[in-house]
């Protein structure tokens, strides 16, 4: 039986839309570095194990599903620079193209996140990410070793505190390293925006080499299964 969970994976995609490929300056390696490396391998196998699943093939460097539409920063929703401050486009994208990307990819992604819980008996939604093992210069924690798992609920706004403690203890059963809540990340736009619709948690998994991606997948699935069992029986 599938877990009553909605899984969102916004940063696993590597594709640049065909109409933008000739204008893109980034190599495949730079596109990978701007996204959530290993997220596809860790989280995509959950598709057949959960009740609802949403992802995108579009690279984060092109369009960030975890940003609000009016985020015009250079690392905003339609980006001009990567998170490493590398220019993305030969020629700046105009407003018409920005609106096209939002309408074609961003809005449908968020419509799914809103509509799926209405048609399913979902208990929890999880926005799935990976993070560098040490805070990069552009992060909130430069040079600091990060936990193996970070669970975020926007400081208590998007998921009950009791559920967060259950999730933390469940992940601690399968991960030998630290499991934190809201440090260094408390949740992005997806978690905060859709957290008014149902309980949402942002899951950040370290890209440290403590386990292979396939092993991390098994550990994540086991932890989520454990947590849902405990939450359902409360």
Q: Is residue 220 classed exposed, middle or buried when 0-12, 13-18 and 19+ CB atoms within 10 A define those classes?
A: buried
Which of the residue ranges 6-15, 42-51, 133-142, 225-234 would you say has the lowest mean pLDDT?
Answer: 133-142
pLDDT surpasses 80 at 138: no
DSSP state of 74: T
pLDDT in tens, 73-117: 999 999 999 988 899 999 999 999 999 999 999 999 999 999 999
Whole-number pLDDT of residue 34: 93
Q: Is residue 203 classed exposed, middle or buried when 0-12, 13-18 and 19+ CB atoms within 10 A define those classes?
A: buried
Whole-number pLDDT of residue 142: 87
Whole-number pLDDT of residue 90: 98
pLDDT in tens, 45-81: 999 999 999 999 999 999 999 999 999 999 999 999 9
Q: Average per-residue pLDDT in the chain?
A: 96
pLDDT surpasses 80 at 139: no
State what percent of residues in the chain have pLDDT above 90. Answer: 92
Which of the residue ranges 18-32, 134-148, 182-196 would you say has the lowest mean pLDDT?
Answer: 134-148
pLDDT surpasses 90 at 194: yes
Domain 3-232 falls under CATH 3.40.630.40: yes
| Longest CA pairwise span in the chain (Å) | 55
pLDDT surpasses 90 at 182: yes
Residue 137 confidence class, pLDDT cut points 50, 70, 90: confident
Whole-number pLDDT of residue 234: 76
Distance set, CA 166 to CA 146, 188, 208, 232 (Å): 21, 21, 24, 11
Query: For the chain, which residues make up each domain, given as ranges?
Result: 3-232
Whole-number pLDDT of residue 141: 86
Give the per-residue SS3 of 116-185.
HHHHCCCCEEEEEEEECCECCCCCCCCCCECCCEEEECCCCCCCCHHHHHHHHHHHHHHCCCCEEECCCC
């Amino acid at each position: 039986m599938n877990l009553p969970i909605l899984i969102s994976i916004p940063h696993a995609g590597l594709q640049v839309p065909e109409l933008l490929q000739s204008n893109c300056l980034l190599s495949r390696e730079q596109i990978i570095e701007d996204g959530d490396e290993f997220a596809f391998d860790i989280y995509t196998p959950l598709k057949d194990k959960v009740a609802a699943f949403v992802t995108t093939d579009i690279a984060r460097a092109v369009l960030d599903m975890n940003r609000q539409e009016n985020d015009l920063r250079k690392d905003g929703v339609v980006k001009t620079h990567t998170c490493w401050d590398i220019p993305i486009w030969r020629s700046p994208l105009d407003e018409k193209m920005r609106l096209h990307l939002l309408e074609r990819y961003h809005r449908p992604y968020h419509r799914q996140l809103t509509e799926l819980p209405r048609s399913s008996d979902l208990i929890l939604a999880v926005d799935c990410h990976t993070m560098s093992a040490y805070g990069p210069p552009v992060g909130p924690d430069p040079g600091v070793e990060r936990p193996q798992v970070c669970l975020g609920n926007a400081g208590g706004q998007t998921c009950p505190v009791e559920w967060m403690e259950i999730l933390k203890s469940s992940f601690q059963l399968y991960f030998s390293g630290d499991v934190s809540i809201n440090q260094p990340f408390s949740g992005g736009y997806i978690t905060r925006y859709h957290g008014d619709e149902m309980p949402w948690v942002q899951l950040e998994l370290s890209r440290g080499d403590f386990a292979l991606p396939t092993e991390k997948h098994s550990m994540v699935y086991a932890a989520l299964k454990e947590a849902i069992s405990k939450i359902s029986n409360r």
